[in-house]
């Protein structure tokens, strides 16, 4: 994001997500960007809820970033991300956060995925996390990036870190799930970490 800062004179960026765990992760990844004041949505009371009704992660990210950039009158960065499982034809995809129903918990979403993969052998439990990120100005200037991370879906949750589908997403090179790996490693190698680091 350093090069963008220099060319566009960005001073303040709002991390535009209502998901507290995701917000903390994004702030942690971006904290070393020089000369930027990072704010969360908690600094802007009465922000509107943005419906994620796009057909792609990128469409949702652009929508969230542009709406909140205009409401907050400053730059906003937003992501939309999710899990794509090959044998499920890319599901849960853009419905990852509500796969088991509207306002479903992480545990319920995981439970549904594992039930659909019951009996499926390891070698065909391939999946990836996808993250699309949009950085938007109040004047409709956009920068967009995407990151991905390949892995396998485990047969049961493992680890206590992270959030979302992290406990069932195995990184084959380390034979550990994102929920088992150190958070600093995850922030470098995850789909979100890869995407945000493209801005730097």
CATH of the domain at 162: 3.90.950.10
Across residues 126-138, what is the average pLDDT? 95
Annotated active-site positions, please?
A: 80
Q: How many domains does the chain have?
A: 1
Task: State the virtual CA torsion across 52, 55, 58, 63 in degrees, nearest 10.
Answer: -40
What is the tens place of the pLDDT at every residue in 79-111? 999 999 999 999 999 999 999 999 899 999 999
What is the tens place of the pLDDT at every residue in 169-199? 999 989 999 999 988 888 778 888 888 877 7
* Host domain of residue 181: 2-197
Rounded to two decimals, what is the model's pTM? 0.86
Is residue 1 scored above 50 in pLDDT?
A: no
Cα angle value 141/14/55 (rounded, 5°): 60
What's the pLDDT score for residue 106? 96
| Helices and strands (H and E) in the chain: how many | 6, 7
The rounded percent of the chain whose pLDDT value lies above 70 is 95
């Amino acid at each position: 994001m350093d090069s963008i800062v220099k060319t566009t004179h960005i001073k303040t960026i709002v991390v535009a997500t209502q998901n507290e765990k995701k917000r903390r992760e994004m702030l942690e990844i971006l904290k070393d960007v020089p000369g930027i004041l990072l704010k969360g949505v908690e600094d802007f009371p009465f922000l509107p809820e943005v419906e994620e009704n796009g057909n792609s992660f990128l469409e949702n990210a652009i929508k969230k970033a542009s709406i909140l950039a205009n409401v907050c009158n400053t730059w906003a960065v937003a992501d939309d991300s999710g899990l794509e499982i090959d044998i499920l034809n890319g599901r849960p995809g853009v419905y990852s956060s509500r796969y088991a129903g509207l306002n479903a918990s992480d545990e319920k979403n995981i439970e549904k995925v594992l039930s659909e993969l019951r009996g499926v052998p390891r070698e065909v439990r391939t999946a990836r996390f996808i993250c699309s990120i949009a950085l938007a100005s109040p004047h409709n200037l956009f920068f967009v990036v995407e990151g991905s991370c390949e892995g396998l879906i485990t047969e049961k949750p493992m680890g206590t870190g992270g959030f979302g589908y992290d406990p069932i997403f195995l990184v084959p090179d380390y034979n550990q799930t994102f929920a088992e790996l150190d958070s600093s490693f995850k922030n470098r190698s995850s789909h979100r970490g890869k995407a945000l680091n493209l801005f730097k």
